Amino acid sequence: MKFPLSWLNEFVKIDDIAPKDLAERLTRAGLQVESIETVGGAPLADTFVVVEVVACAMHPDSDHLHVCKVTDGKETWQVVCGAPNMRQGIKTAFAKIGSIIPEGGFKIKKGKLRGVESFGMCCSEKELQIGSGAAGIIEFPPETPTGAFVRDAVPGEKPETVFDVEVTWNRPDALSVLGIAREYAALLGRPLKMPAVDFAEETCDVNDEVKVVVEDPVRCPRYTARVLTAVQDGPSPELMAKRLELCGVRALGLCVDVTNYVMLELGQPMHAF
């Protein structure tokens, strides 16, 4: 099970103890920490700059690529980009030739995409590890100075320490952030902060909306369903999407992400349909 220590710290104070010591204590208690990983936090190099898209046309040999001209106010580059939100007039993050992309660690080189030369790369938040946005390239506000370093326009996030813990079959109580926090509270003799519950329940009868039938009560002695109304699906809040990603779960949309988030935080499997 993977989880960031910053999430764990919301339930039990552990940020005053070195990650190595925390890992050792948990391993001695029977929950082996398989790995400790630091994610993000490194400042972006000078080769990542804010550019304005001054021209944008469809690629002559592709129905989804664009051939664009971008400028930092001093130089202009031609770049081929497949982002759906690429268009003339926006300001975005540009990686010059020689840049090392934080996600994946690959180096930007001069290249050709379907026969058209490209001299850099326009980037998404996720590629630069400064956010979770991956559906398109970054769009800076119009007032963002052209030519500014991306690190100044969007300061890098603090590095996250992520534990990967091997949970044995006899410790299902540890299959959640809250469960691990409970373990640390006992090991360290510190109070456990339970999550606050703020829930307003309507008086309508759930049976008017849906009916649950348990066809095999031996294999499934209990099945609980709840109806939520006036729910609008869409992108999840950045914090939720980031935590899911740090736990190795891809953010798919609010309804699905909420169920995965609850499962990781509280250990309660859920499914939305």
Summarize pLDDT for 164-177 with one digit per residue, the tens. Answer: 999 999 999 999 99
List Cα–Cα distances, 57 to 35, 54, 60, 86, 212, in angstroms. 46, 11, 9, 10, 54
What distance in Å separates the CA atoms of residue 49 and residue 54, rounded to the nearest whole number?
A: 15
Q: Answer left, alpha or beta for residue 40, where phi above 0 means left and psi between -120 and 50 means alpha.
A: left
- Where in the chain are all domains bearing CATH 2.40.50.140? 48-153
Residue 41 has a pLDDT of 67
Question: Over the stretch 194-205, which tens digit does the pLDDT of each residue have?
Answer: 988 887 777 777
What distance in Å separates the CA atoms of residue 258 and residue 273, rounded to the nearest whole number?
A: 12
Instruction: Return the structure tokens found at 156.
Output: 């890098």
State how beta strands 111-113 and 160-166 pair. Answer: unpaired
Domain 199-273 adopts which CATH fold? Answer: Phenylalanyl-tRNA Synthetase; Chain B, domain 3 (3.50.40)
CA end-to-end span of the chain: 25
pLDDT band at 270 (very low <50, low <70, confident <90, very high): confident
CB atoms within 10 A of CB 48: 26
Enumerate the H helices of the chain as residue ranges. 5-8, 19-28, 125-128, 150-153, 177-188, 238-246, 254-266
CB atoms within 10 A of CB 119: 18
List Cα–Cα distances, 64 to 3, 57, 68, in angstroms. 36, 11, 13
Q: What is the CATH number of domain 48-153?
A: 2.40.50.140
Question: Over the stretch 61-112, which tens digit does the pLDDT of each residue have?
Answer: 999 999 999 999 999 999 999 999 999 999 999 999 999 999 888 999 999 9
Question: Over the stretch 219-243, which tens digit does the pLDDT of each residue have?
Answer: 999 888 888 888 888 888 878 888 9
Residue 205 has a pLDDT of 76
In total, the chain counts a number of residues equal to: 273
Enumerate the H helices of 122-230 as residue ranges. 125-128, 150-153, 177-188
- Where in the chain are all domains bearing CATH 3.50.40.10? 199-273
Using the predicted structure, report yes or no on whether residue 209 has a pLDDT greater than 90.
no
Using the predicted structure, report yes or no on whether residue 206 has a pLDDT greater than 80.
no
